[in-house]
């Protein structure tokens, strides 16, 4: 059989490649760890490289190209500034889970300058890893509030704590009543009325969004952009809530022509508002998973799915209101409105309820439970409460308290003056608690509230409560150099 020319070429190529492969193998064995043909053990992927992380980002992954000596890698993994956490492995991947959200407004470095490949064969030690350097940063620390002075009166204000910058987000012809930030902090949903509507504005609220320029790698707008979300032509818009994923808005609405026609409506992107069936209840709150609505109905709380035609998920007859959910959605703070007929007293109980069936009463008081918020790790609740006092006349004394959810210990922190629909806001990284206080014409910030109405309010102050960093330190309170009310941290 004659050998064709193409066969000769193929045989020559096979022999050449075989020689090259043999040369590479011989060279690698001869030169050892310094061999240019050998790829050193190294990190091939860092999931947070050049990323901007928020409170929801609690773990990163490091992927190696070979099995590594885990003890040596763990001993040489360094994060600056430090972020305490726990390490776990799955094959060639290292997972690092933070104990708490990363503090905002920081630039972080991660590096591994030493460590070895997993021992193989009869070698005394594995190959040394190629040094790796990574970097990431956390979101700017920022909050929004409603201005209460001069040209800022009634306007939505953004304060970037990290950059020390203040920005007015809304125009002077709109009076902002309430707002809620989107979870990425790039936008804020707010309700507002035209300034010329005056006191009648509360019945003419419309919903808008405004951009913040935060957490955008390449901002495209030179100034805040406002977009109308829901008008007030046929319905009066009242309370609203925004889902954590930013895809759903729930609004309580009343038909202007038929006041008996009221209920909850759902708004999603690119779809007209839809009426939610069986939703004529009272107070409501979306769950952190953005799939369920907790609504006060009669003598209890109904958990309603947002998917049309689905049956209610549960009914909690013991409670009258959901105050807040923990950040991960596994627990909630709920109120039980008690009536002691024997003593003709009305009391309220604050309960901790989780998805494991635990119901723990935290406090029972004759005053009011105005607001409560979990800290990022859901170990404590910060609550705005009132104590019923009888001298010189009956009144409710508001105060700020911290509740340890493990021990149920209640620590009163600060007595407050007359409150005007006050709310508290806990920082997503646990820095502290924002709250406001009202000043009137005849009072300063004293413990005892006055009888002045809201028409006497001339100013307001905003404060930051900083929790202790260790067992030896104490809570600190700082007045913010800003004038406004209803401060809320941005996620």
The pLDDT of residue 449 is: 33
- Contact yes or no for 102/110 (Cβ under 8 A): no
| pLDDT > 60? residue 180 | yes
The pLDDT of residue 455 is: 32
Strands laid side by side in the 274-275 sheet:
235-242, 248-255, 262-268, 274-275
The pLDDT of residue 18 is: 66
Number of alpha carbons in the 13 Å side-chain half-sphere of residue 216: 12
Q: How far apart, in Å, are the Cα atoms of 105 and each of 75, 83, 121, 232, 426? A: 27, 14, 47, 39, 16
Distance, CA of 240 to CA of 191 (rounded, Å) = 9
Q: What does the pLDDT average to over 439-464?
A: 50
| pLDDT > 50? residue 453 | no
| pLDDT > 90? residue 489 | yes
Q: Which position has the token pair 């809320």?
A: 488
Query: What are 339-349's pLDDT values in tens digits?
Result: 654 554 678 99
| pLDDT > 60? residue 251 | yes
Q: Which is higher by pLDDT, 236 or 30?
A: 236
| pLDDT > 90? residue 273 | yes
The pLDDT of residue 415 is: 85
| DSSP annotation of 11 | H
Lowest-confidence region among 9-13, 205-209, 402-406, 433-437: 9-13
For residue 332, the tally of other CB atoms under 10 A from its CB is 24
Smallest Cα–Cα separation from 78: which of 105, 98, 108? 108
Q: Which is higher by pLDDT, 357 or 452?
A: 357
Confidence of residue 457 (pLDDT cuts 50, 70, 90): very low
Average pLDDT over the chain reads: 85
Q: What does the pLDDT average to over 173-186?
A: 95
- The three-class DSSP label of residue 19 is helix
Strands laid side by side in the 476-479 sheet:
424-426, 433-440, 457-466, 476-479
CATH fold of 43-138, please?
Immunoglobulin-like (2.60.40)
Distance, CA of 483 to CA of 461 (rounded, Å) = 6
Strands laid side by side in the 85-90 sheet:
43-46, 59-64, 93-98, 85-90
Which two tokens mark 36? 């240019």
| DSSP annotation of 449 | -
Confidence of residue 120 (pLDDT cuts 50, 70, 90): low
The pLDDT of residue 218 is: 56
- Contact yes or no for 98/14 (Cβ under 8 A): no
Q: What does the pLDDT average to over 438-463?
A: 49
Strands laid side by side in the 359-365 sheet:
321-325, 331-340, 345-354, 359-365
- Contact yes or no for 390/366 (Cβ under 8 A): no
Distance, CA of 483 to CA of 153 (rounded, Å) = 10
What percentage of the chain reaches a pLDDT higher than 70?
81
The pLDDT of residue 475 is: 87
The pLDDT of residue 186 is: 94
The pLDDT of residue 452 is: 33
Query: What are 327-364's pLDDT values in tens digits?
Result: 999 999 999 988 654 554 678 999 999 988 899 999 99
Query: What are 12-23's pLDDT values in tens digits?
Result: 677 766 666 655
What percentage of the chain reaches a pLDDT higher than 90?
61
Q: What does the pLDDT average to over 454-466?
A: 68
Smallest Cα–Cα separation from 53: which of 85, 86, 101? 101
Q: Where are the domains of the chain?
A: 43-138
In angstroms, what is the C-alpha Rg of the chain?
30
Q: What does the pLDDT average to over 243-253?
A: 95
Query: What are 380-405's pLDDT values in tens digits?
Result: 999 999 988 877 777 788 899 999 99
- Contact yes or no for 144/87 (Cβ under 8 A): no
| pLDDT > 90? residue 137 | yes
What's phi and psi for 186, nearest 5 deg? -85, -20
Query: What are 295-317's pLDDT values in tens digits?
Result: 998 788 989 888 866 677 788 88
The pLDDT of residue 393 is: 78
The pLDDT of residue 448 is: 35
The pLDDT of residue 6 is: 67
Cβ-proximal residues to 68 (8 Å cutoff; 6+ apart), any chain: 41, 92, 115, 116, 117, 118, 126, 129
Query: What are 36-88's pLDDT values in tens digits?
Result: 446 789 999 999 999 999 999 999 999 999 999 999 999 999 999 999 999 99
| pLDDT > 50? residue 241 | yes
The pLDDT of residue 295 is: 92
The pLDDT of residue 437 is: 78
- Contact yes or no for 403/362 (Cβ under 8 A): yes
The pLDDT of residue 33 is: 45
């Amino acid at each position: 059989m004659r050998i064709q020319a193409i066969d000769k070429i193929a045989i020559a190529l096979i022999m050449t490649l075989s020689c090259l492969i043999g040369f590479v193998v011989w060279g690698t064995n001869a030169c050892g760890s310094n061999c240019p043909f050998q790829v050193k053990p190294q990190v091939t992927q860092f999931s947070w490289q050049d990323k901007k992380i928020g409170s929801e980002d609690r773990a990163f992954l490091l992927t190696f190209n070979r099995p590594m000596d885990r003890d040596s890698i763990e001993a040489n993994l360094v994060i600056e500034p430090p972020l305490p956490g726990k390490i776990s492995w799955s094959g060639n991947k290292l997972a690092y889970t933070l104990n708490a959200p990363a503090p905002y407004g920081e630039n972080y470095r991660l590096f591994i300058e030493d460590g070895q490949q997993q021992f193989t064969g009869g070698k005394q030690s594995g190959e040394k890893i190629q040094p790796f350097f990574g970097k990431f940063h956390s979101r700017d620390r920022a909050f929004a509030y409603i201005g209460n002075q001069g040209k800022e009166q009634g306007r939505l204000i953004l304060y970037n704590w990290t950059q020390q910058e203040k920005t007015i987000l809304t125009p002077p012809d709109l009076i902002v009543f309430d707002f809620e930030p989107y979870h990425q902090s790039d936008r804020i949903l707010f309700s507002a009325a035209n300034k010329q509507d005056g006191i009648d504005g509360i019945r003419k609220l419309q919903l808008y969004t405004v951009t913040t320029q935060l957490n955008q790698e390449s901002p495209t707008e030179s100034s805040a952009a406002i977009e109308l979300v829901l008008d007030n032509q046929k319905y009066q818009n009242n309370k609203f809530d925004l889902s954590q994923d930013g895809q759903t808005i729930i609004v309580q609405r009343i038909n202007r022509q038929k006041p008996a026609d009221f209920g909850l409506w759902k708004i999603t992107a690119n779809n007209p508002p839809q009426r939610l069936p069986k939703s004529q209840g009272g107070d409501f709150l979306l769950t952190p998973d953005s799939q369920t609505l907790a609504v006060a109905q009669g003598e209890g709380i109904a958990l309603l799915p947002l998917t049309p035609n689905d049956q209610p998920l549960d009914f909690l007859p013991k409670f009258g209101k959901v105050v807040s959910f923990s950040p991960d959605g596994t627990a909630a703070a709920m109120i039980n409105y008690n009536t002691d007929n024997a003593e003709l007293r009305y009391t309220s109980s604050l309960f901790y309820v989780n998805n494991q069936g635990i119901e723990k009463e935290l406090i029972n008081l004759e005053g009011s439970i105005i607001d409560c918020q979990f800290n990022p790790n859901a170990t404590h609740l910060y609550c705005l409460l009132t104590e019923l006092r009888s001298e010189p006349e009956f009144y409710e004394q508001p105060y700020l308290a911290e509740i340890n959810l493990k021990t149920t210990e209640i620590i009163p922190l600060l007595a407050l003056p007359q409150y005007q629909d006050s709310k508290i806001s806990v920082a997503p990284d646990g820095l502290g608690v924002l709250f406001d206080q009202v000043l009137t014409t005849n009072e300063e910030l004293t413990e005892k509230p006055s009888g002045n109405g809201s028409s006497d309010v001339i100013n307001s102050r905003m404060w930051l409560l900083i929790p202790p960093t260790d067992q030896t330190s104490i809570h600190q309170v700082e007045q913010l150099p800003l004038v406004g009310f209803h401060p809320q941290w941005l996620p």
